[in-house]
Structure 1
Amino acid sequence: MKKHGILLIVCIFLILASCTKSSVGPSLEDILSANPKLQVVFDKYQDDSLKHRAAVFLIENLPFHYSYEGEALNDYLKLFELHGKGTMYPDKVLDSIKRACGSFHLFMIVKEPLM
């Protein structure tokens, strides 16, 4: 019975210790020092507390997101431009882009961090 009591106390301690808030990524100050243009966002929403909190949330989570860059991606985006004009159907546009630029592969583009 004494062993179960000690085990229960250890489990409660571990649960309480896991509930502490610890930062996973860089701090807001680090992000703003790396990209001072983001300070404009804070200045813009300084009067509206809800929008300011939303901006803080988005900027704090910016390091965990990325975009793609590369010439292959630019060729693939032509598909959406031509289809958006309504002049060609998607399969015709895709065929013409494949003939002109080759087929699209994900390994041909580079992953760029947003920050």
Structure 2
Amino acid sequence: MSRWGCLVLLVLLDGTQRFSELARGIGGVSEKMLAQTLQTLEADGFVLRTVYPTIPPKVEYSLTRLGREVGIHIKTLTDWVEEHVPEVLGSRSQLAGRRESSSRLIAR
């Protein structure tokens, strides 16, 4: 699943939304990419696209049972990642320090 697909599922966990609401909720996604992502998620059985016979047509997107299930898993993972960002950054900093020390020893 793509980054945009994950973000769409996370936004739709809050409930049914129209295309423009999704675009605002995600931020930074082009209309073309969002449309392609929604088509893929619909084909995969994660998103339900409902078209209302109005003028202009009203289209809403919501999660299927399967989409809600995978969305909850993605949310659990993203919550875990956000909680552990300080540890990850600390590890990166320690490794960078060790590499810098090693480089200085080799340069001598």
TM-score (norm 2): 0.27
Per residue, is there more strand in 1 or in 2?
Answer: 2
Which of the two has higher C-alpha Rg? Answer: 1
